[in-house]
Amino acid sequence: MRTLAFPLASLLSSPAFAEGFDRPVPQAQSATAEFWFAMASIALIVSMLAVQSLVSRR
């Protein structure tokens, strides 16, 4: 079985079986997605400020 592993792996990994790379097409964000991203960013900033105030008290 070990003697077949290398030839089999080299045959299956040959460029003949490889597919070409298709670049992903970027999708535009909707206004709803931008709104929720802004809300999440603001929430992150507020939470980081809260953590900083709690840590500075110690």
pLDDT digits (tens, 9 = 90+) for 16-55: 666 777 888 888 889 999 999 999 999 999 999 999 999 9
In the block, tokens 């840590």 appear at 55
Residue 47: predicted pLDDT = 97
Give the angle subtended at the CA of 10 by the CAs of 5 and 15, to the nearest 5°. Answer: 155
The amino acid sitting at 2 is R
Q: Where are the alpha helices (DSSP H) in the chain?
A: 2-12, 31-57
- Tell me the Ramachandran region of residue 24: left when phi exceeds 0, alpha when psi lies from -120 to 50, beta otherwise: beta
Is the pLDDT at 14 greater than 90, yes or no? no
Residue 20: predicted pLDDT = 78
Residue 37: predicted pLDDT = 95
Is the pLDDT at 4 greater than 80, yes or no? no
pTM given for the model: 0.51
